[in-house]
Structure 1
Amino acid sequence: MDAIDREMLDILRADARTSVRDLATRVGISRASAYARLRRLIDDKVIRAFTIDVDHAAIGLGVSAYVHVRIKQNSWKSFRKKAWALEEAAHVALVAGDFDCVMLVRASDTDHLRDLVLERIQSLPEVLGTQTVLVFEEHHGLV
């Protein structure tokens, strides 16, 4: 990874649909070189996916929350599988600290969120307890 690779990643994070030609022009290298660098970043799994940024409120999922979950020992794999099976789960992570897992979930409204956390997540046999943190505003930027 050099400065050109990092600049390419910044450009693609801002707009994953940037063409190789535009990428090459913006970083000051040939199209062939840009393509080769991009292919290497994909092959080396530096770039894992090309994705889109969705306005969740526009699709009826205007309430977001982080659900901190405490689980039984040695139950991460089974919990992770069940957590990802929830259509509301946007991100599931094993973490260190007071809780074992953090989930980013998206719901249509607070009643939907309440049902998700209190009825569906807390009823999973691996779950010992939860704490929910409501998200007021989200911003996605370059790293």
Structure 2
Amino acid sequence: MEALDKLDRHILRSLQADGRATYEQIAESVGLSPSAVLRRVRRLEEVHVIDRYVALVRPEAVGLGLTAYVNVRLEKHAGSAKRNPMDEFRASVMAWPEVVE
């Protein structure tokens, strides 16, 4: 993909600040026509600069008071396990409803 120009970066900043902004609103802040903004956004989506659109949810609004990032180190153990210990661990923790990723 060709390098992003100043207008592409401005459009991306606008979308990151407000993903529901209309093309008219973005066009006004960038100095382009709405159709030009639409073409640029579509191109950014097609080349996967824009990966997806998401809703950011306040954890406390849905009853989640804590987010934890945990790093786990597994030690190799001798044994004739048929499954990889990492696969076993992953399958085990992904069954917990609290684990989201």
Normalised-by-shorter TM-score class: 0.7 to 0.9
Matches for 1:27-38 after TM superposition, within 5 Å? 27-38=30-41
Instruction: Give 1 or 2: higher helix fraction.
Output: 2
Deviation at 1:53, TM superposition (A): 1.4
* SS of alignment partner, residue 67 of structure 2: strand
Matches for 1:62-141 after TM superposition, within 5 Å? 62-71=65-74, 78=87, 82=91, 86-91=96-101
Which protein has the larger Cα radius of gyration, Structure 1 or Structure 2? 2
Instruction: Give 1 or 2: higher strand fraction.
Output: 1
Deviation at 1:86, TM superposition (A): 4.6
Larger relative contact order (C-alpha < 8 A, sep ≥ 6)? 1
Report % sequence identity: 34
CA separation of 1:25/1:85 partners in 2, compared to 1, >3 Å: closer, same or farther?
farther
Which of 29, 50, 62 is the matching residue for 2:53? Answer: 50
**Runs of at least 4 residues off by over 2 Å:** 71-76, 78-91
User: Partner amino acid for 1:21?
Assistant: E
**Distance (whole Å) between structure 2 residues aligned to residue 40 and residue 4 of structure 1:** 13
Q: Structure 1 regions of 5+ residues with no counterpart?
A: 92-143
RMSD, aligned α-carbons: 2.5
Q: Structure 2 regions of 5+ residues with no counterpart?
A: 77-83
Residue 19 (1) aligns with residue 22 (2): yes
Could you list the per-position Cα deviations for residues 14-42 of structure 1 after superposition, in whole angstroms to 9, with x for gaps in the alignment? 11111111111110011111000000010
Kindly tell me the number of residue pairs found equivalent between the two proteins.
90
